Structure 1
Amino acid sequence: MIPTPEAPAPRSAAAPAAAARGGAGSFHTLWNELAPIGRHADSGGYRRYAWTGADADCRAWFRAQAESRGLTYEVDRNGNQWAWLGDPLAGDAVVTGSHLDSVPDGGAFDGPLGVVSSFAALDELRSRGAAFSRPLAITNFGDEEGARFGLACVGSRLAAGQLTKEKAYELRDGDGVSLPEAMERAGYDPETIGADPERLARIGAFVELHVEQGRALDLSGDRVGIASAIWPHGRWRFDFHGEANHAGTTRLVDRRDPMLTYAATVLAARQEAALAGAVATFGKISVEPNGVNAIPSLVRGWLDSRAADQATLDTVVTAVEKAAREHADRDGIDLAVVRESFTPVVEFEHALRDELNRILGGSVPVLGTGAGHDAGILSAAVPTAMLFVRNPTGVSHSPREFAAEDDCVAGVLALADVLEGLACR
């Protein structure tokens, strides 16, 4: 078993090969190296799930990048990876990075763009001959998407104390494998997981670069933007219990079919979200007994809902549940609703956000987002900020997710400017 944290790699003051390439050349090389890992041949999307083979390959790639640059490499108690320039224990560090895992058949950019850009930004700064006055770290937070265990941002939630060890041990994937079992199979010790306030106290600022998950920058004509806030969002599980029966011999009037109630609830969610100017999505479903010729006994659906403010989100979710219960009563269905996760609105620290804008010339667009991020989780304990890179398709969590290389390089240079402004003054 690999101990956590792992033994640090030797650290040197320079990385001539990477530095000589600068940010643009470095980004191209890094991106092409990482791109094949975890890509599914049929869908063209990525299946980089936490603590699987594809995840292990991504983690090995991260370690190789750290060591090739002479950075101090370590894995924290929760399996998050760190690559340090300067003394990790000195405090007031500037940290950047994101995540490398994906949703099922996700796109190439969500998460990895931030990690690749971080290494490329460091290479750019070295090519400039930047002199660092604060420690700098690049990180890969584990299991950000929650694709395997159903809870997003597991690595950062554990570190920030927003997910207890006990609750983490209860997480299971679709095959019944628990989180600690998965970690052990991957060679990591789950006994160490939990809040890591000492590590977070050593971080003076965390800046996460991410592909925009929408088209605001495309519509404004800007390559890079700054995040203002993350909308409040959560996940609710709706369990519709009916009665299994024969699809060919049971009269329609005699059925207790939970699929009908589920379908009506999906339509209600769309209507309520549209009325409120929010979003609501049933994107995951499980059915029992899941037979073509059988009326289901149970339909379980997961609602993801987000809104610009808490009151609007509450209104939407309450209305969806009310509609679901009304349809359940009509159809003879028993309904249980469980809130599985929730993140309140995150306002990124205004002083840090304003400092990023100043460093970047004062005219960078500032925009909100409905997507959750590790930066949002850490914001309660660490000053955090985010940069967005233009996505002309507006598509995310899909193989159609896209960012032009010129825009990605613009993001690298913007991140390098920000890190220079924060860590080299």
Structure 2
Amino acid sequence: MSAMETTTALPKIISVDDHTVEPSDVWQNRLPKKYLDTGPRIVRAPLKEISFLGGRFKPVMGAPGDDGPLGDWWLYEGLQRPLTRLDTAVGYSRDEIKLEVITYEQMRPGSYDVPQRLADMDVNHVQSAVCFPTFPRFCGQTFTEAKDHELGLLCVQAYNDWMVEEWCGPDAQGRLIPLTLIPLWDAELAAAEVRRNAARGVRAVAFSEIPPHLGLPSVHSDDWDPFLAACDETGTVISMHIGSSSRMPSTSADAPPAVGSTITFANCCFSMVDWLMSGKFERFPNLKVMYAEGQIGWIPYILERADVVWEENRGWGGVADKVHRPPSEIFTEHVYGCFFDDAFGLKNLDAIGVGNVLYETDYPHSDSTWPKSREVGEAQMGHLDADVVERIVRGNAIDLLGLTPDGLWGGPK
């Protein structure tokens, strides 16, 4: 009997890592008038040149009338950032997906339109989804790097208001689960924003997997404690997407993108060791972190190694006074790995923990399993018992994100 014949059909998916392409008016509709000329806005312009080497994305916008393919570009202070096919690739064959600029008309409408997104979720056997940003980048780095932090804070708040009130608003029928941003440059302001959104039912916030790559303090410092305390008190899950440190793993400045794509999990690996050795989970016992698109196959060895280091080297390793249990035990209570295509990890599920694994579809990115996430899941999870599959595909997400028993967001409180 084949693996597919030994299991029930995959239950409706709750994807903890999808993406939204923000509509062009998100900030123009919400910022004070004095900021409309410097805040985020869309223009259509030609591309002069573009590259993505060594993990660095470098687009150059042409002047009006120049030759070159037209694309829609976000302008913000001095930033010029185009929409690209890598932002939204679903609906195109793998061979058609190239590093190129596009317009809103050249993307699948489900990338930015709520009813169309729900329709695409239906096609993909997805009930509910958490969506990371595109223009702000995965944890709001765009606003952190800006010169005017007064405007940056307004941009963060405007995004969060749009996320809660429109993207996850009534038209979403509870099927889109809000993920909000914080002003990363100020932990006190970040804490206030966590509490502001938690008061209206938000239970997930984006954060950087390796903050020092952004010029920010590490999790080993006390600088983030106000933010961590707010997450601990409100039950807000810290969600870290690969690339949320603005530095994708690579090996050299001229390494092709395929090198970085192969080792994208590395940042999650480094980050998880940081958190497990930081002592923060002992100081903030309700804190939980989630790694989006990091896959899970690497986790068992890292936990094994971390336990060995803690057992044998904690005396001189700088953790004896703050990490009082084996890291693998801490992991079980506080850390969640997310995957969409990881047969090896699923074969080693016992070494990770059924309760620490979440499913995702990565819509609308080029890696997405859309529109066949159900088939991929059934093929890779066919050897697992039905109750285990249910936990991975939806049950763990319901518990972690405080969803209704039916897997929906309850809406603003």
Assess same fold via TM > 0.5.
Answer: no
TM (normalized to structure 2)? 0.28
TM (normalized to structure 1)? 0.28
**Larger strand share, 1 or 2:** 1
